[in-house]
Amino acid sequence: MSTPLPPRPPRRRLLASGLNSFLSLSPSHPPEPIPFTHVPLPFELASLAATTLSQTVLLDTTGHPHLLGLPLSPSSTASPLPAPTPLALPSSLAVDPTQITRYLGSDHILGVLTSSGELWVLSPEGGHPTRLEGKWQDAAIDERGEVLLLSFNGKPYHLPFLSSPNPPTPLPTPYPLQTLHAGAAHFLLSPSLPTSPAHAPLSFGDNRYLQLGLSSSSPSSSTSGPSPASEPAPVPALQALKVTRLSAAGHRSAAVSEGGDCFVWGAGEGVERIELPFVDGEEEEEEVVEVSCGAEHVLLLTASGKVFGSGSHQFNQLSLPPSERVQGMDLSAGEWAELNLGLGMGERVVGIWAGRWASWVVVEEVGEE
The pLDDT, as a whole number, for residue 228 is 42
Distance between CA 305 and CA 307 in Å, rounded?
Answer: 7
pLDDT digits (tens, 9 = 90+) for 232-282: 999 999 999 999 999 999 999 999 999 999 999 999 999 999 998 866 666
For residue 366, what pLDDT band results from cuts at 50, 70 and 90?
confident
Give the number of other CB atoms < 10 A from CB of residue 163: 14
Are 23 and 31 spatial neighbours (Cβ–Cβ below 8 Å)? yes
Q: How confident is the model at residue 230 (pLDDT cuts 50, 70, 90)?
A: confident
> pLDDT (tens digit, 9 = 90+) per residue, 164-189?
889 999 999 999 999 999 999 999 99
- pTM listed for this prediction: 0.90
pLDDT level of residue 5 (50, 70, 90 thresholds): low
281 CB-contact burial (10 Å; exposed 0-12 / middle 13-18 / buried 19+): exposed
Question: Which is it for the CA torsion 86, 87, 89, 90, positive or negative?
Answer: positive
pLDDT of amino acid 344? 85
* pLDDT higher than threshold 50 for residue 361: yes
Backbone φ, ψ for residue 359 (5° rounding) = -140, 145
Q: Is 124 helix (H, G, I), strand (E, B) or coil?
A: helix
Reference 65, options 44, 41, 86, 83; nearest CA is 86
pLDDT of residue 225: 41
pLDDT at 91: 85
**What is the per-residue pLDDT for 3?**
66
Q: pLDDT (tens digit, 9 = 90+) per residue, 137-169?
A: 999 999 999 999 999 999 999 999 988 889 999
pLDDT on residue 223:
41
pLDDT band at 323 (very low <50, low <70, confident <90, very high): low
Of 69, 83, 88, which is closest to residue 40 (Cα–Cα)? 83
What are 284-311's pLDDT values in tens digits?
789 999 999 999 999 999 999 999 999 9
- What pLDDT is stored for residue 163 in this prediction? 86
Average pLDDT over residues 76-99: 91
Q: 336 Cβ partners below 8 Å, 6+ apart?
A: 274, 276, 277, 300, 308, 309, 310
pLDDT in tens, 332-350: 667 899 998 989 889 999 9
For residue 305, the tally of other CB atoms under 10 A from its CB is: 16
Report how far residue 78's alpha carbon sits from residue 125's, in angstroms, rounded to the nearest whole number.
9
For residue 106, the SS3 value is: coil
Instruction: Look at residue 169 in the predicted model and tell me its pLDDT.
Output: 95
Verify cis geometry, omega within 30 degrees of 0, for the bond prior to 194.
yes
Q: How many CB atoms lie within 10 A of CB 153?
A: 8
Residue among 327, 357, 352 at smallest CA distance from 339? 352
pLDDT tens by residue, 71-83? 987 677 789 999 9
pLDDT of 80 reads 95
What is the overall mean pLDDT for the chain?
A: 88
pLDDT given at position 77: 79
- pLDDT tier at 215 (50, 70, 90 boundaries)? confident
CA distance 144 to 106: 9
